[in-house]
Amino acid sequence: MKTAVIVTTYNRPDALAAVLAGYQAQTTQDFELLVADDGSTVDTRVVIDDFRRKATFAVNHIWHEDHGFRAAAIRNRAAAATTADYVIFSDGDCVPARDFVARHQQLAERGWFVAGNRILLDDAFTQRALRDALPLHKFGNLSWLLAWLKRDINRWLPLLRLPDGNWRRSAPQRWEGVKTCNLAVWRDDLQRVNGLDETYSGWGLEDSDLVIRLLHAGIQHKNGRFATPVFHLWHAENDRSRLAENQRRLDTLLESKQTRAALGLDQYA
């Protein structure tokens, strides 16, 4: 099974460097990495080029011009640029645990997408981690437990590892809470629903839209919690001025049986 990891980024090279270090340290190197760049400046390209020279797996930089928040479009461009069988979506501010890719590969199952979760770092801890280049991906459970006791992170329990089993399929129709910062899907399923819908404007709910259309297409939700955590670096809240409009669009989708994105992956074929 060929695996691609798609990491979305926008003008945050220090965070991206920490994330890329986490992928360099993965317990498996059997994957390709695509950085889906939503219009960053040259500082981000420098980080990616430097990382590509030392990476032991293929690294591809997918970029488009900065015309506002267009995460759906750049994810689609990246998905169109890979021939991998299985695609793992994450973000350029989400440091992966060292077994993140391996555990996603182990949980992969035809007919299902896998949704993991995240552990949130607070502002001060994030600033210190980036300033001092702390190797967050190397932290053990004891270090994270101490961080939780100091309230540097919001929770610790997701770091526990549980095996695969029927309990992971206990909520096959759940879409609430699923985010593209930790989502794995078969590429042919992604093509079947035409990827993410680029008609969503600005931040918010384009990932929920993708998941609902996957469910409409018969692809079910498999729980990746207690297996595939990422450590989400703090950032200020995004502009949510278009959220109400996006919510109306999502409500319409929920009342329908639509499976394909109106403006999606097929335009890059």
Q: Where are the domains of the chain?
A: 3-268
The mean pLDDT of 76-93, rounded to a whole number, is 98
Residue 46 has pLDDT above 70, yes or no: yes
Residue 9 has phi, psi (to 5 degrees) of -145, 160
pLDDT the model gives residue 201: 74
pLDDT at 245 over 70: yes
pLDDT band at 242 (very low <50, low <70, confident <90, very high): confident
Q: Is the pLDDT of residue 223 over 70?
A: yes
CATH number of 3-268: 3.90.550.10
Q: 119 Cβ partners below 8 Å, 6+ apart? A: 144, 153, 154, 155, 156, 158, 159, 229, 230, 231, 232
Residue 107 sits at φ, ψ, to 5 deg, of -85, -10
Angstrom distance (rounded) from CA 52 to CA 70: 24
Per-residue confidence (pLDDT) for residue 239, from 0 to 100: 66
pLDDT band at 253 (very low <50, low <70, confident <90, very high): very high
Mean local confidence (pLDDT), 98-110 = 98
Average pLDDT over residues 10-21: 98
| Residue among 74, 82, 6 nearest 38 (CA) | 74
Is pLDDT above 80 for 52? yes
Distance CA 206, CA 72 (A): 7
Single-letter residue type at 246: N
pLDDT at 243: 78
Determine if the pTM surpasses 0.75: yes
- The residue type found at 91 is D
